[in-house]
Amino acid sequence: MITTDKTAKELFHEVIANPQRVPFGFGEKAVLINVDPQKAYTRTDLFKTAYETDPKQLNYVNDLAKSFRQLDWPVVWTHVAFLDSAEDAGIWGTRSDTPDSLQNIKYGSERAEFDERVEIDRNRDVVYTKRMPSAFFETPLQSLLVWHRVDTVIITGGSTSGCVRATAVESLSRGYRTIVPLECVADKHESYHYANLTDMHLKYADVLPVTDVQSWLETRIAAAK
């Protein structure tokens, strides 16, 4: 095992500056999956489970969603919520039992609500409630992607080390080109955030500046006119 005194953030920027892998790149058609931009994880003023990495994160996410809608490509929003009994949280809900615990994000609660800042088009966007880390697990997401014939999955949201990573790993495992816009994901601690970005970039996804993703979308929008 290689040891180092460098921080996870320093290692991430070294990897990004010195590409070690051929990028997966963009395909022909993408889906935008916005993982759990709900108050339990975004409203740092209300809940201690919330976190913020880039203060403009949700603005970037909204801008991506607008571009996807211009292309008539699918936009997916997920959030976590559980029954009062928490039985649908399974073993994942057994490690703690406090008001802030995962399994105590109940249906209809404020913690389960999407952040007011996210712009969901309720007439055409897709909203899924998920109960485990990956947005694919026991949701209709795979069927949606097959229907839309997408080959590229773009993932935003949180946490970088949890549900974003789990979704990225499963996306790759299902054969999709997987993209994580850097400014569009967040975590509780910079160490977890950058360590997982590094790992995803080396193995499971292309971690790119959001401007690169938006530029690709704008090129597709221009070509569609």
Domains, the chain, with CATH or none: 26-224 (3.40.50.850)
**How far apart, in whole angstroms, are the C-alpha atoms of residue 92 and residue 131?**
9
Task: Please say if the pLDDT value at position 20 is more than 80.
Answer: no
Residue 224's pLDDT band, with cuts at 50, 70 and 90, is confident
Written as one string, the DSSP assignment of 55-94 is: TTHHHHHHHHHHHHHHTT--EEEEEE-B-TT-GGGGGGG-
Q: What is the reported pLDDT for 225?
A: 80
Condensed to tens digits (0 to 9), the pLDDT of residues 104-157 reads 999 999 999 999 999 999 999 999 999 999 999 999 999 999 999 999 999 999
Helix axes 8-17, 190-203, angle to 10 degrees: 30
Task: Please say if the pLDDT value at position 10 is more than 90.
Answer: yes
Condensed to tens digits (0 to 9), the pLDDT of residues 151-188 reads 999 999 999 999 999 999 999 999 999 999 999 999 99
Residue 52's pLDDT band, with cuts at 50, 70 and 90, is very high
- Which residues are catalytically annotated? 163
Classify each residue of 51-68 as buried b or exposed e, where b means 16 or more C-beta atoms within 10 Å of its C-beta. bebeeebbbbbebbbebb
- Tokens representing residue 76 in the block: 């997916």
Condensed to tens digits (0 to 9), the pLDDT of residues 59-80 reads 999 999 999 999 999 999 999 9
**pTM greater than the 0.95 cutoff:** yes
Does the CA dihedral 130-200-28-73 come out positive or negative?
A: positive
Q: What is the reported pLDDT for 92?
A: 95
- Tokens representing residue 188 in the block: 């509780």
Q: What is the reported pLDDT for 21?
A: 80
Q: What is the reported pLDDT for 64?
A: 98
Q: What is the reported pLDDT for 18?
A: 85
Written as one string, the DSSP assignment of 10-38 is: HHHHHHHHS--S------S-EEEEEE--B
The percentage of residues in the chain with a pLDDT greater than 90, rounded to a whole number, is: 96
Average pLDDT over residues 211-216: 98
Residues constituting the chain? 225
Q: What is the reported pLDDT for 100?
A: 94
